Amino acid sequence: MMTSNNSITGLITRGIGGFYRVVTKRAEYECRARGIFRRREMSPLPGDIVDICVIDETRREGRIDAIHERRNVLERPAVANVDQLIAVVASESPGPDMELLDKMLITAEKKGISVLICVNKSDFGTDAFLRIRNEYRSAGYPVISTSSRENFGVDELQGHLKDRISVFAGQSGVGKSTLLNSIMKAAIMETGDVSIKIGRGRQTTRHAQLIKLPCGGYIADTPGFSIFELSMIKYHELYRYYPELAAYTGTCRFSPCSHTDEPDCNVKKALSEGRIGSGRYAGYVKLYKELKQADRGY
């Protein structure tokens, strides 16, 4: 912690071209970072809590001298200290990508980030929402339904965002930026049209930044988002990132148990009794086999 009289602590909300906007209790400052961070190959990120030295109070200019320890970091987008991931899927156009949704949830579990599943475009119908809610509530994930076009569910979503740093993620065209616009009651981000030919939205946002919400808290859009990488997760550890499977750790006949082929597996028993979603489990087995093949090099 810095000790000089003009040193204050703040939150980085944006970083472009080596300049960082830092919000403090006193004011917002445009800051450069000390060269020591570059030498250490550590770049300040939106979401970082930092200590800054005020260089020019009148012009609101400062220098980042220290970065506090991070709770977590997301690489795509590059954001630190995220409290919550809003996993956005659409009822239609494009339809829900359940494999991508599970990869988002696995990433959040690994990094200790809570999750809210948001089924957008509910004006197309409630079938997708009900299917996803029934499948994922056994895993303990809250699921809400929204329609930015009909302004449905936006108030409920806003309640989940209050006083937290949240990241919106999902495939192109699901309506992330439109939801942000609805929450802010203004066009804070350019909304991309959905391509009729491929049914996916064109990316319009250019960089990650934290946007302060009227209700309190911040949200970060996910420019350039495509897929979460699971290469750092070992196949025999995958079950840990499925809360409904991890709950049965140590209760099966065999230990460790992969919950795929072993007899007397309590996960498969819970599956047969309807206490674990069948689609969710099938996705787990698919990912397990893919990671196992990758680990063995074939």
Q: pLDDT value at position 110?
A: 92
Please answer whether residues 84 and 107 qualify as being in contact, where contact means their C-beta atoms are separated by less than 8 angstroms: no
Q: pLDDT value at position 68?
A: 97
| Terminal CA-CA length for the chain | 49
CA torsion sign for 160, 165, 170, 175 is positive
Q: What is the crossing angle of helices 176-184 and 154-161, to 10°?
A: 80
Which domains occur in the chain, in start order? 7-68 (2.40.50.140), 74-220 (3.40.50.300), 235-296 (1.10.40.50)
Q: What is the rounded distance in angstroms from the CA atom of residue 169 to the CA atom of residue 228?
A: 10
Closest CA to 13 of 46, 54, 50, 42: 46
Residue 224 has pLDDT above 50, yes or no: no
Residue 4 has pLDDT above 90, yes or no: no
Average of per-residue pLDDT across 221-232: 60
**pLDDT per residue over 249-280, tens digit each?**
999 999 899 999 999 999 999 999 999 999 99
DSSP-based three-state secondary structure for 125: coil
Residues in the chain: 298
Q: pLDDT value at position 207?
A: 64
* Amino acid in position 231: S
Backbone phi, psi, residue 165, to 5°: -95, 115
* Amino acid in position 197: K
User: Among 38-47, 150-159, 188-197, where is mean pLDDT lowest?
Assistant: 188-197
Half-sphere exposure of 92 (CA within 13 A, CB side): 7
Give 298's pLDDT tier (boundaries 50, 70, 90).
low
Q: pLDDT value at position 188?
A: 57
Kindly compute the dihedral angle of the four CA atoms of residues 107, 112, 116, 119, in this order, to the nearest 10 degrees: 0
Q: pLDDT value at position 198?
A: 32
Q: What is the crossing angle of helices 278-296 and 127-136, to 10°?
A: 70
Q: pLDDT value at position 200?
A: 39
Q: Where on the phi/psi map is residue 146: left (φ > 0), alpha (ψ -120 to 50), or beta?
A: beta
* Amino acid in position 32: R
Half-sphere exposure of 277 (CA within 13 A, CB side): 21
Q: What percent of the chain has pLDDT above 70?
A: 87
